[in-house]
Amino acid sequence: METLGAYAILLAFCLSIYAFAASLAGKLKHKPFLIVSGERAVYGVWVLLTTAAGILVYSLLTSDFRLAYVAARSNRAMPLVYKFAAWWGGQEGSLLLWSWLLSTFAAVVVFTNRRKHRDMMPYVISVLAFTQIFFCILNAFVEPPFQVLAVGKGVQAVADGNGLNPLLQYWLMAIHPPALYLGYVGFIVPFAFAFASLVTKQPGEAWIATTRRWTLITWGFQSIGVMLGQGWAYAVLGWGGYWGWDPVENASLLPWITATAFLHSVMMQEKKGMMKVWNMVLISSTFFLCIFGTFLTRSGIVSSVHAFAQSSLGTWFLGYLAIAVGVTTFFILKRLDYLKSEAHLESVLSRESSFLFNNLILLASCFAVLWGTLFPVITEAIMGEKITVGAPFFNKVNIPIGLALLLLTGVGPLIAWRRSSWESLKRAFRWPTVVAVLTIAILAGFGVTHLYALVSFGLCAFVIATIAMEFFKGARAISVKNQMNMLFAAFELTHRNTRRYGGYLVHMGIVIMFIGYTGAAFNKDTTKEVTIGDRFDIGRYSLQVKQVTDGDNPNYSWQKAQIGIFVGGEYLGELMPERRVYGSSGQPTSEVAIRRRLNEDLYLNFASMSQTDANKAIIQAYVFPLVSWIWIGFYVLMFGTLVCLIPSKVKYSYAKTAVVGVYAKQTETAK
């Protein structure tokens, strides 16, 4: 079986080379049969990598410890779902997942465009195949997943494996990495079409129309990956937070930021023929940052709980990035005339300018995060000493940037296209501003003095009022005209233009998440060494450690602290944080206990028993105001993304968008 898997990867590597060469040769030599054979090779690559992935997963599920990867990442005591999740729990398996997802996306692209965009498709396939070649090299020669443990004279067969890293044995880790990989890998498709349009100098924005839905879905998966990563950090790591500006966390955020900027500015190209260079740079940067994030995770140049061990992969990734960035930059510079805007910014007080400022602020945030992430690497290379940049730097830089973005989120819908008069701005801003000021005044009256928190809550109220007004005005017009209930009118309004109103829902989700993030200004925490039976206080809670129990199962041994919760003498129930030690690795982990409420979370971590007194437990307690609104906002964001994907009831055709095949055919006929 392992031999079949290894040969499948090797053959996939050979077919990827053929797909790349046949597509380019067929296009340059005007040989359609070569182009078609290159497309069929893409299907072959998918079949071969699906076979290899299936063999690896089967080996994990059946505990075939002859394979080094299975012995290192699985054991018999692990639940079935974590045996499957071990596929991406190590270097070799996760690279195979990357390759398999890439081959799947490539096959879908070829199939869905088999009769469209014939001018661009050979170059699209060449980009996909070149990247596939790179990852197949890693799978076949650098980090092969089908290495067999040597068993012979003096060497015994492995009776059981080491098991998956205990920190990864949590239900979110069966979802978070695949979702993030779907985002990382998926961005190659819009990049490939953008690159192909550059090479062929396609008229119109057909590549945008073709990839809009794909880009939005990929952005959605990247959002899911980032948010589930926050949820995992919050519920598993036990440090009492959801985002620590860890280098690998930052690596997942960077392409999300540039993709968000792209999704905004691409509307300017569709509607106005503007920001073409911006969009080429943004979609290219997004994909390169995905590769860069994969490089950070696997090269070992940064220290992170999320990263794999030190390896030689860094050189390979840097080589791929150097080639890809160099070729793309060459074509962007060569096609600058083709990328000229067809319209110009007429006024600073216009919706066009709000899109431009939005992009500038997002890119400033991206640069700040990238600089802070790479600063230790740069200082070590230059000075020989690694100077670490911590969370205070990122917070100090990004909090003002986030507030500026929040302001623009509310301002954008209130400003007209082309130009706005001061009179119209006064009318548009009146009620949202009143709501924001009242919110700040009420919170200040209740004793909130934290400046950033007051500004953030005020801006959140401003944006919510803006979005509510947009829905209300549109729904009221439909309601009056059609004698319809306001709720049904709001549904009808959204269905008529799902892109616009789905986008408003996405903005609403982000605003709700900001409310949750702002609550961090009022966090409380304490660490206590408590005698069993005694109480300690945090905020309005009084906590009593009732007892500590222990036990074990085939996978791990455990200790649980039973902690009663009291507020003002009223008993609210109990929480049971847990301490585990996994038998296969001997690694201890924490299972935190959380009392989730809309106003605040009570978060308890059982650190250990006291070293000096066996009757004392060390408990870390946190109170996190409003943190549940982060997860609520995420659900709203995903709902808004799904709404954007629904075709609008009233379809809009933009004059800037041309169907490439039709245009080419008409041009040829005219000649």
* Predicted confidence band of residue 154 (pLDDT cuts 50, 70, 90): very low
* Predicted confidence band of residue 590 (pLDDT cuts 50, 70, 90): confident
CA-CA distance, 3 to 111, in Å (whole number)? 30
CA-CA distance, 604 to 131, in Å (whole number)? 45
Alpha helices (H) along 412-450: 422-445
Of 229, 292, 213, 230, nearest to 255 (Cα)?
292
* From 155-159, 320-324, 397-401, the region with the lowest mean pLDDT: 155-159
- With a pLDDT cut of 90, the percent of the chain lying above it is 63
Where would I find the beta strands (DSSP E) of 588-648?
588-591, 593-596, 600-609, 616-625
What does the block give as tokens for 265? 């500015």
Write out the DSSP string of 120-175.
THHHHHHHHHHHHHHHHHIIIIIS-TTPBPP-BTTBPPPSS---S-GGG-SGGGGT
Question: What tens digit of pLDDT does each residue of 342-398 get?
Answer: 777 666 677 778 888 888 999 999 999 999 988 888 888 888 777 878 889 999 999
Those residues whose C-beta lies under 8 Å from the C-beta of residue 347, and which sit 6 or more positions away, are 353, 418, 419, 420
- Residue with the bigger pLDDT between 241 and 460: it is 460
Q: What angle do CA 450, 455, 461 make, to 5 degrees?
A: 125
Q: Which secondary structure element, helix H or strand E, spans residue 95, and what is its range?
A: helix 91-112
Question: What tens digit of pLDDT does each residue of 519-577 get?
Answer: 999 999 999 999 999 999 999 999 999 999 999 988 889 999 999 999 988 999 999 99
Q: Are 619 and 604 in contact (CB under 8 A)?
A: yes
Q: Are 531 and 546 in contact (CB under 8 A)?
A: no
Helices 276-299 and 247-272, interaxial angle, to 10°? 160
Q: Are 261 and 241 in contact (CB under 8 A)?
A: no
Q: Which secondary structure element, helix H or strand E, spans residue 197, and what is its range?
A: helix 188-200
Q: Residue 309: pLDDT above 80?
A: no
Q: What angle do CA 486, 492, 497 make, to 5 degrees?
A: 130
Q: Is 368 exposed, middle or buried (0-12, 13-18, 19+ CB in 10 A)?
A: middle
CA-CA distance, 313 to 325, in Å (whole number)? 18
Of 325, 501, 510, nearest to 413 (Cα)?
501
Alpha-carbon torsion angle 394, 399, 400, 405, nearest 10: 110
Those residues whose C-beta lies under 8 Å from the C-beta of residue 593, and which sit 6 or more positions away, are 563, 575, 576, 577, 578, 603, 604
Q: Is 28 exposed, middle or buried (0-12, 13-18, 19+ CB in 10 A)?
A: exposed
Q: What is the mean pLDDT of residues 255-269?
A: 91
Q: Does domain 522-628 have CATH number 2.60.40?
A: no
Alpha helices (H) along 483-497: 486-496
- pLDDT given at position 351: 76
CA-CA distance, 560 to 442, in Å (whole number)? 43
Handedness of CA 386, 388, 393, 394 (dihedral sign): positive
CA-CA distance, 6 to 12, in Å (whole number)? 10
CA-CA distance, 247 to 293, in Å (whole number)? 9
Q: Where are the domains of the chain?
A: 1-149, 410-520, 522-628
* From 139-143, 172-176, 604-608, the region with the lowest mean pLDDT: 172-176
Q: Are 125 and 15 in contact (CB under 8 A)?
A: no
- pLDDT given at position 89: 87
- pLDDT given at position 668: 42
